[in-house]
Amino acid sequence: MNAFVDKMRRRAGRYLDVRPATIRPPRGVLSLSFDDIPASAWLEAGPVLAQHEVKATYYVCGGLAGGRNLDLPQFETEHLQALHAAGHEVGCHTYEHVSTLRLSPAEL
């Protein structure tokens, strides 16, 4: 695991500014995200987020749409449209859920 972390530090270090940034928000900061978007992340969590006027980031793996992952039903296209319309952020988590560390530059 340490080798993986070291590798990621070397790669990310080329693109990241390592100077600390001081922020002083008037209130606490919270970031919510959903990985791969099982259907429950929208159907069950979406109404709770709306009730509390909270937005989240949903990381989409397009190839999982309408299928199952880890034996859970995944999002439908309509879920993406609805969560985007509700003001949530949609992030790309690759289409086929591949490890990008194992892909060549041409495959990326």
Is residue 37 packed enough to be buried (19+ CB in 10 Å), middle (13-18) or exposed (0-12)?
Answer: buried
Does the structure show a pLDDT above 90 at 102?
Answer: no
Does the structure show a pLDDT above 70 at 15?
Answer: no
Counted domains in the chain: 1
Does the structure show a pLDDT above 80 at 6?
Answer: no
Q: What is the pLDDT of residues 29-62, one digit of tens each?
A: 889 999 989 999 999 999 999 999 999 999 999 8
User: Quick check: is 102 in a domain?
Assistant: yes
User: Quick check: is 50 in a domain?
Assistant: yes
pLDDT at 12: 67
Dihedral of CA 42/44/38/53: which sign?
Answer: positive
User: Quick check: is 57 in a domain?
Assistant: yes
User: Quick check: is 97 in a domain?
Assistant: yes
Q: What is the pLDDT of residues 59-84, one digit of tens each?
A: 999 899 999 988 999 999 999 999 99
Rounded Cα gap, residues 68 and 76, in angstroms = 11
User: Quick check: is 65 in a domain?
Assistant: yes
CA dihedral 43→49→55→59, nearest 10 degrees, is -30
**Domain membership of residue 95 as a residue range:** 30-108
User: Quick check: is 58 in a domain?
Assistant: yes
User: Quick check: is 5 in a domain?
Assistant: no
pLDDT at 10: 72
User: Quick check: is 1 in a domain?
Assistant: no
pLDDT at 82: 96
More confident residue, 79 or 96: 79
